[in-house]
Amino acid sequence: MSKRYRFVIILVVMGLCFAFLYPTIKWYFLTLPEDKQLALQAREQIRDDAKKIAAADYKRLYEAAVAEDALPQDLAYLHAEAKDAREARNMAKPEQWNAKSTLLSFENPQIVQNLIETEVRERILELKKLQKNAVQLGLDLSGGLSIVLQANLAAYAEKLGHSMSDTETSEAMDQALEVLNSRIDRFGLTEPVIRRQGVDQIYVEIPGTADPERINDIVMGKGTLNLRLVDETATQTFQSYYATNPFSTFDGDGKLIDSSIVPEDCEPLGVYVKDEYGLDMFSHYLVVKKEIGLDGNHIKSASVSRDNFDGTPHVAVTLDDEGGEIFWKLTSENVDKPLAVVLDNRIRSAPKIREGIRTNMSISGFNADEANNLALILRTAALPVELEVIQQQSIGAALGADYIEQGLKALLGGLGIVMIFMLAFYKAAGFNAVVAQFLNIYIMFSVLSAFNFTLTLPSIAGFILTIGMAVDANVIIFERIKEELKLGKTRKAAVEAGFNKAFWAIMDSNITTFIAALFLSQLGSGPIQGFAVSLAIGVFSSVFTALFVSRLMFDFGTDVLHSKKLSVSWRI
């Protein structure tokens, strides 16, 4: 491969690595602590805080307008909105733009508050998205979520129709553990701690940022999906009644006060859509049959795809044989009737049945995130027993700051010692190895950020081990070059022969190390898996920096600087 192609490849790799690493740099080093605190809250709290911040900002704007002061700097974005509002209302341009002229540009104060809330919401949600794209710190470094789940074995026994033996109880809890493990793995979380606690409890630790929404998405997603027919006539009657009696239709528990307003075999359920914060927002009621047309347990697989025409996401579902027969009868007998998709007693969509469907169906009415979450939950099937969160707390890493400091000291200390040795023993050629080491660490952290891996103490240990492994490749290359120089070859010939002869020795050693790391990552769990992942990443990055970066630096000295000698040893 020519030097030009090698140089282009290195530039592309460095650029991609920076793009991958940028979210981590921005989140940990360029984001203010108070902004981090806002972004790490649940969306319900973000919504409340956004409204409070918007109200406070509007108050500041109003006070500045009364005093005829300039528009506050942090509200400067309202200037462009005010110009558009004046043009829409055919208002003349003010002699001077200040807080008062900006505020008077809008028809009413609510419009201004909505604009401020939108700006605050988008800023916080953008930070929340940034945090998810950054490298996550493990429970031992930054804390995480600790949850205790209580299994409702009584309800499960009632479902079975008999008292549960100890064996059945143990099997049900083991199955729940497997489902939770599968869900957490599918959601991309690493190194979770999930274990039984007593007879009917499960203890879960999820490393990373304490975001309560992850509990709802992963642990509490029961996958209780079912399809029910909508009674259109009963729906119209109920909606008319509810419009005139909104406060006397349901009691405090959400049950109908007058059950005669809907048929005995039906019940009203709410239709929910997502609001600007991604939270469920009630839209209206539909009356559906109590009888479940198809239970979600008949689902074999679920995946997300997009409509060919408008690109909207939908969940493609494949049913088992029994479910296919049930669904075929249900759909073929009710063509042109709406079928409600009910997830956890909330209607997500109610499309009309166009034709009879047997084994493959498509569920729409979701945004991209919701569709992915639903597909993930359905692929892991329903939990055998209902689980309830009885204790949930955020765990702070008591020694996390000390561990991070010690890990960085070990990493930098090891790197420093290796650098001193390479420069002292291999003279100018050792500088190539030093540059390769820095790029090696840069690439490793970039890959961690790109795949949202969790950084733990064992991961840091893998990084430290990789430093020694990476420099080993340079040592092999330098020794081969020294042998060629002893034979009287020129600088260019010695470098080319040295790299060619060292290639397979480097590849053999790194391939065997990668195979070991691969087995550790597949067979191990927890800290062992974290160590194996960082080691595997280090294998790839060290090979790249040794064979590509170091070689290009040698060639640069030969062809661009026109160096005739090679400083690679005190004896040569």
Tell me which architecture the domain covering 137-221+391-395 has in CATH: 2-Layer Sandwich (3.30)
Residue 83: the pLDDT is 93
Question: What are φ and ψ of residue 392, in 5° steps?
Answer: -145, 125
Q: Give which of 139, 34, 132, 28 is closest to 394, Cα–Cα.
A: 139
Question: What are φ and ψ of residue 221, in 5° steps?
Answer: -70, 100
Alpha carbon of residue 16 to chain centroid: 19
Q: Write the DSSP assignment of 227-246 as a string of letters.
A: EEEB-HHHHHHHHHHHHH-T
Instruction: Quickly count: other Cβ atoms within 10 Å of residue 352's Cβ.
Output: 11
Spatial CB neighbours of 531, under 8 Å, sequence gap ≥ 6: 458, 459, 461, 462, 520, 524
Burial 7-34 (b: 16+ CB within 10 A, else e): eeebeebeeebeebbbbbeebeeebeee
The structural domains of the chain, with segments of one domain joined by +, span: 3-22+399-559, 33-134, 137-221+391-395, 247-364
Residue 188 pLDDT grade (very low, low, confident, very high; cuts 50, 70, 90): very low
3-22+399-559 and 247-364, same CATH topology: no
Average pLDDT over residues 497-523: 87
Average pLDDT over residues 126-142: 82
Residue 234 pLDDT grade (very low, low, confident, very high; cuts 50, 70, 90): very high
Residue 228: the pLDDT is 92
pLDDT digits (tens, 9 = 90+) for 356-380: 888 787 776 667 766 776 666 565 5
For the four alpha carbons of 291, 293, 298 and 302, in that order, the dihedral sign comes to negative
pLDDT digits (tens, 9 = 90+) for 22-58: 999 999 899 999 998 888 777 788 888 999 999 999 9
Is the pLDDT score of 190 beyond 50? no
Is the pLDDT score of 108 beyond 80? yes
Look up the pTM and report it: 0.69
The 3-state DSSP class for residue 187 equals coil
Is the pLDDT score of 7 beyond 60? yes
**Between 308 and 329, residue with greater pLDDT:** 329
Average pLDDT over residues 386-397: 73
How far apart CA 344 and CA 326 sit, in angstroms, is: 21
What CATH number has the domain spanning 247-364? 3.30.1360
**Between 275 and 91, residue with greater pLDDT:** 91
Q: Which of 72-76, 277-281, 346-350, 558-562 has the highest mean pLDDT?
A: 72-76
The 3-state DSSP class for residue 441 equals helix
How far apart CA 320 and CA 390 sit, in angstroms, is: 35
**Between 522 and 51, residue with greater pLDDT:** 51
* Range of weakest confidence among 112-121, 177-186, 251-260, 455-464: 177-186
Average pLDDT over residues 56-83: 93
Q: Going by DSSP bridges, is the β-strand pair 193-197/299-306 parallel, antiparallel, or unpaired?
A: unpaired
Give residue 166's region: left, alpha or beta (phi > 0; psi -120 to 50): alpha
Residue 220 pLDDT grade (very low, low, confident, very high; cuts 50, 70, 90): low
Tell me which architecture the domain covering 3-22+399-559 has in CATH: Up-down Bundle (1.20)
* Range of weakest confidence among 226-235, 310-319, 325-334, 364-373: 364-373
* Range of weakest confidence among 94-98, 219-223, 522-526: 219-223
Q: Write the DSSP assignment of 299-345 as a string of letters.
A: EEEEEEEE-TTT--EEEEEEE-HHHHHHHHHHHHTSTTSBEEEEETT
CA angle 363, 365, 370 (to 5 degrees): 90
The 3-state DSSP class for residue 417 equals helix
How far apart CA 565 and CA 520 sit, in angstroms, is: 45
